[in-house]
Amino acid sequence: MIGAARDRWPGAGRMFFMIGGVFTLAMLAMGTLVFVVAERTVALHIDRDLIHHQDKFLHVPGASPSAPERAATSAEVAARIRDWQARKITSERTYTLFDPAGRIVAGRLNVRPPPGLSDVLFLGGGRTWQSGRALAAPLADGSLFVIVQHSEAAAGLRALLPHLVIGAFFAALTAGLGATWYFAHLTARRLAATGATADAIAAAGDLSRRVPMAGLDGMFARQAQSLNRMLDRMESMAETQRHFASALAHDLRTPLTRLSTLLTGPGDDAHAAAERECAGIITIFDALLRLAEIEGGRHGGAMVALSLGALVEDVAETMEPVIADAGGTLITGPLDPVAIHGDAGLITQLLVNLLQNVATHTPVGTSARLSVHRVGDHAELLLRDDGPGLPQQDCARVLRPLERGGAASGRRGSGLGLSIAQAIVRFHQGRLHLGDNGPGLEVRIAFPAVVPA
């Protein structure tokens, strides 16, 4: 059965033997402990009993509060023993007093152990050997007072104890091993579905498969949820990759086709035009390389505290002539004094890419304003223009690599400008949002601000 379980759920049998073995050892240790503790408790109880009764026989209480307690004489002890014998019919204790010569003065049991506590064997009722516990005390005149206790109940308990412990051990062992086997079986069965899903994905690359959640609860459900979330993310990444590859193939096919036509056809300008097409292809590859660098954190810059306003001023100085040449206007301000933790090269590229979009994708006469605001614990970069803006459905799409807005499909450019911007913002733990400026486009970017020291 365990062999079969091992085949169906490899590792379950081993788990059973490991946990079962540890459990058996623990039960053995516990049984031994119970046995020793019970045995010692009974023995202690008997010894305390013996000492108590010895005190009762060997001391005579004072007659008045002023007269102190004193030791009983041999005669008094003998009298007490006889008195006790007369009153008690049966008892688990017997008292005997020996004179200095070793003869019995009072009592019946002829057992003379050494002074103090000891184990003794004696003939009970003159017929059967019995074991008991004895306490012997010498008196002042050389006599010896002996109490022997033979407790039937204690002897019975002692006889029962090993059986009890062994019985309990086997019962607990059976229950424990059963529970362990059941647990191993349950775990294996629940993990089997996860394993089957992972194997299916590994074999066929089918990322649409998910770990079935039916019948799962507690930690198994949580684990399945985590795995399914991971699969969701992987599927979306694979989908992006597929989409990206086909978009890239398309984007390269167009300039390459034009290039091939130029190279085979006649024309004086063919050389310059072919160079332009090559430059276009190289631009796409440069941008792809840059995107991969930024997404992989391999862009080579250092993260420092940067004044966002100073960077905006610097880039605006460079980009203002570019936007003016495209027939637009760039205005900056207000620039709130706020710092972010960032890479100056990357933030510069972010600003250049955003302003480049204004220059290439807005009509003549468009006015754009770039400003920096402090909003709570964030630095907000705001670029608003009064151009045609983007339809709502294009806002998410244009952030993906090689995707262009509907109106820009014919324009040149790598098609990666906003993807790079998005990657830079993400690298800085910021958020980029494209919205409507009514009319025009609003680009709103929030970075965590550096708290002034």
Which residues contact other proteins by CB under 8 A? 272, 275, 278, 282-283, 286-287, 289-290, 293, 298-301, 314, 317-319, 321-322, 324-325, 345, 348-349, 352-353, 356, 359-360, 413-414, 417
**Minimal CA–CA distance to 198: which of 207, 188, 190?**
207
Tell me how far, at minimum, the Cβ of 261 lies from other proteins, in Å.
Answer: 20
Q: Cα separation of 188 and 6, whole Å?
A: 9
Tell me how far, at minimum, the Cβ of 420 lies from other proteins, in Å.
Answer: 8
Beta carbon nearer to other proteins, 111 or 247: 247
Tell me how far, at minimum, the Cβ of 413 lies from other proteins, in Å.
Answer: 7
Beta carbon nearer to other proteins, 231 or 354: 354
Beta carbon nearer to other proteins, 361 or 384: 361
Identify whether the C-beta of residue 119 lies closer than 8 Å to the C-beta of residue 129.
no
Beta carbon nearer to other proteins, 111 or 281: 281
Tell me how far, at minimum, the Cβ of 223 lies from other proteins, in Å.
Answer: 38
Looking at the DSSP assignment, which residues form a beta bridge with residue 118?
134
Beta carbon nearer to other proteins, 78 or 420: 420
Tell me how far, at minimum, the Cβ of 270 lies from other proteins, in Å.
Answer: 14
Q: Which residue has the tokens 């979009």?
A: 357
Beta carbon nearer to other proteins, 211 or 402: 402
Tell me how far, at minimum, the Cβ of 289 lies from other proteins, in Å.
Answer: 6
What are the strands of the beta sheet with 431-436, ordered from one edge?
329-335, 367-375, 378-385, 441-448, 431-436
Q: Which residue has the tokens 């007369």?
A: 86
Q: Cα separation of 284 and 265, whole Å?
A: 25
Q: Cα separation of 224 and 216, whole Å?
A: 8
**Minimal CA–CA distance to 433: which of 390, 369, 376, 403?**
390
Beta carbon nearer to other proteins, 299 or 378: 299
Tell me how far, at minimum, the Cβ of 416 lies from other proteins, in Å.
Answer: 9
Looking at the DSSP assignment, which residues form a beta bridge with residue 98?
104, 144
